[in-house]
């Protein structure tokens, strides 16, 4: 049991820190954020440039083998890098899907040609990827995908609609789950494809989220043609390919729930006055800060346990589902406490109230999304109950019948 760096990790940390000092600007204040004032095009260009810089140094995909453009490092080294990078002003939220889920899926299932063609440009930031899984009638019940892929000669013709596709508006490629056999039961007739997002018939429309930010999209697919050489994995195995993607996602999601909201709460509670005294002296506030720490730092700790398991060659497994349950709830309750601290003035948006309120307000309004995206709380609980605790699966009357017989 050692929570500190091993000698090797300490050397790596020093090396990362030196490199970051040379290539990025250290964050001066907690509420500083990269890219204030940049428009979408300029932000995207900056994010791609930063990704290229990282890739040149091997930091784009630290645990990947060197021949795939990674550093061949340990998961712990990935954590070290992330801890150090968090202290610097760098762009984020562009390459998470590419590197966190889409490309690992290509690496796992792709042909040598697909890997040679796709991995390097994605690592360098030349290509941005998205994942086209969810549909209007296939959210938690992803097996209900109705986007149709029909084989015509050496090509597949795609028709259907995807939704909640994060980053599709920036993406060059996507991994697409479509139905290729309507006579098979729902999970058996699916196939995964690599989709060129610039292909004719792909229509991406931004969705305005409850947070008032654009982040995800509807993607309409009309007679889009995909060569059979862009099929990812065997025909009819799309469900299995998709599950391997989601396992990646569950793991990478854990990292998204770390942070220092409890420290921010301390700062805000010192500024706020409750009944003529600093809110930080109030027992309820103090208890809320302690609970925020337990949830949020606890998520960090669970992720580190998973990392330690991986470095010993043991898969971290579905218990990582607890991370998302706890982490998303931490955002929602911690963000709400921060907003409450301000009393009536706490209702003034950060743009008028002050930058230090931006992140807590964002956590409060985006918390509900975190409890839905990447598997709802209820799906996570089913996963834990069935895969960890060995309880019976849900009764599924639609599982073993040909998909075409199901109600639309």
In DSSP terms, 219 is beta-bridged to 162, 204
Task: State in angstroms the smallest separation of the CB of 86 from other proteins.
Answer: 16
Q: Shortest Cβ distance from residue 326 to other proteins (Å)?
A: 6
Calculate the alpha carbon distances from 52 to 26, 55, 56, 139, 346 in Å: 19, 5, 6, 34, 40
- Distance set, CA 213 to CA 206, 208, 330, 365, 366 (Å): 10, 6, 21, 11, 10
Residue 319 as a binder of other proteins (CB under 8 A): the answer is: yes
Site for other proteins in 344-403 (CB under 8 A): 378, 380-382, 384-386, 388-392, 394-395
Q: Which residues face 129 on adjacent strands?
A: 173
In order of 137, 156, 372, the CA distances from 203 in angstroms are 19, 18, 25
* Candidate ranges 180-188, 239-247, 292-300, 397-405; the one touching other proteins (CB under 8 A): 292-300
Residue placing its CB nearer to other proteins in the complex, 264 or 366: 264
Stretch that binds other proteins, among 59-67, 130-138, 248-256, 319-327 (CB under 8 A): 319-327
Answer for which of 1, 152, 210, 344 binds other proteins (CB under 8 A) is: 1
Collapsing DSSP to helix, strand or coil, 309 comes out as: helix
3-state secondary structure at position 163: strand
Q: How far is the CB of 288 from other proteins (least distance, A)?
A: 9
For the chain, the first-to-last Cα distance in angstroms comes to: 53
Angle made by CA atoms 157, 160, 164, in degrees to the nearest 5: 130
By C-beta, is 173 or 293 nearer to other proteins?
293
**249 part of the active site:** yes
Beta strands in 12-95 (DSSP E): 25-26, 88-89
Tell me how far, at minimum, the Cβ of 137 lies from other proteins, in Å: 21
| Secondary structure of residue 157 in the 3-state scheme | strand
3-class state of residue 401 by DSSP: coil
| Binds other proteins by CB under 8 A, chosen from 184, 211, 252, 308 | 308
254-273: which residues touch other proteins (CB under 8 A)? 262-263, 266-267
Compare residues 235 and 282 and give the one whose CB is closer to other proteins. 282
Write out the catalytic residue numbers. 249
Q: Which residues bind other proteins (CB under 8 A)?
A: 1-6, 9, 76, 79, 262-263, 266-267, 280, 283, 286-287, 289-291, 293-295, 297-298, 301-302, 304-305, 307-309, 311-312, 319, 322, 325-326, 378, 380-382, 384-386, 388-392, 394-395
């Amino acid at each position: 049991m050692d929570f500190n760096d091993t000698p090797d990790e300490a050397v790596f940390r020093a090396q990362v820190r030196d490199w970051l000092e040379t290539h990025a600007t250290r964050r001066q204040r907690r509420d500083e954020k990269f890219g204030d004032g940049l428009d979408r095009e300029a932000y995207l260009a900056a994010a791609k440039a930063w990704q290229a810089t990282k890739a040149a140094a091997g930091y784009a995909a630290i645990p990947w083998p060197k021949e795939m453009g990674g550093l061949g490092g340990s998961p712990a080294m990935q954590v070290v890098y992330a801890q150090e990078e968090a202290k610097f002003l760098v762009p984020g939220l562009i390459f998470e899907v590419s590197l966190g889920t889409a490309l690992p899926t290509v690496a796992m299932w792709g042909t040598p040609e697909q890997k040679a063609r796709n991995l390097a440009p994605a690592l360098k930031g030349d290509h941005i990827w998205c994942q086209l899984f969810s549909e209007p009638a296939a959210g938690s019940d992803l097996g209900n995908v109705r986007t149709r892929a029909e084989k015509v000669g050496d090509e597949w013709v795609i028709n259907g609609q995807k939704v909640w596709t994060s980053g599709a508006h920036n993406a060059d490629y996507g991994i697409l789950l479509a139905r290729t056999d309507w006579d098979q039961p729902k999970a058996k007739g699916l196939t995964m494809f690599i989709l060129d997002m610039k292909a004719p018939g792909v229509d991406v429309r931004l969705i305005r989220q409850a947070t008032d930010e654009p982040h995800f999209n509807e993607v309409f697919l009309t007679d889009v043609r995909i060569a059979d050489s862009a099929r990812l994995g065997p025909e009819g195995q799309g469900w299995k390919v998709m599950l391997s993607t989601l396992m990646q996602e569950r793991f990478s999601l854990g990292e998204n729930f770390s942070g220092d909201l409890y420290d921010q709460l301390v700062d805000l509670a010192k500024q706020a006055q409750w009944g003529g005294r600093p809110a930080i002296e109030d027992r309820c506030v103090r208890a809320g800060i302690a609970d925020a720490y337990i949830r949020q730092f606890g998520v960090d700790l669970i992720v580190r346990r998973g990392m330690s398991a991986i470095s010993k060659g043991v898969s971290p497994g579905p218990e990582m589902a607890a991370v998302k349950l706890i982490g998303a709830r931490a955002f929602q309750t911690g963000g709400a406490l921060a907003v409450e601290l301000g009393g009536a003035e706490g209702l003034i948006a950060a743009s008028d109230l002050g930058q230090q309120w931006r992140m807590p307000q964002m956590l409060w309004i985006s918390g509900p999304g975190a409890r839905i995206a990447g598997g709802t709380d209820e799906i996570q609980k089913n996963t834990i109950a069935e895969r960890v605790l060995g309880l019976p699966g849900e009764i599924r009357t639609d599982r073993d019948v040909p998909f075409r017989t199901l109600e639309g």
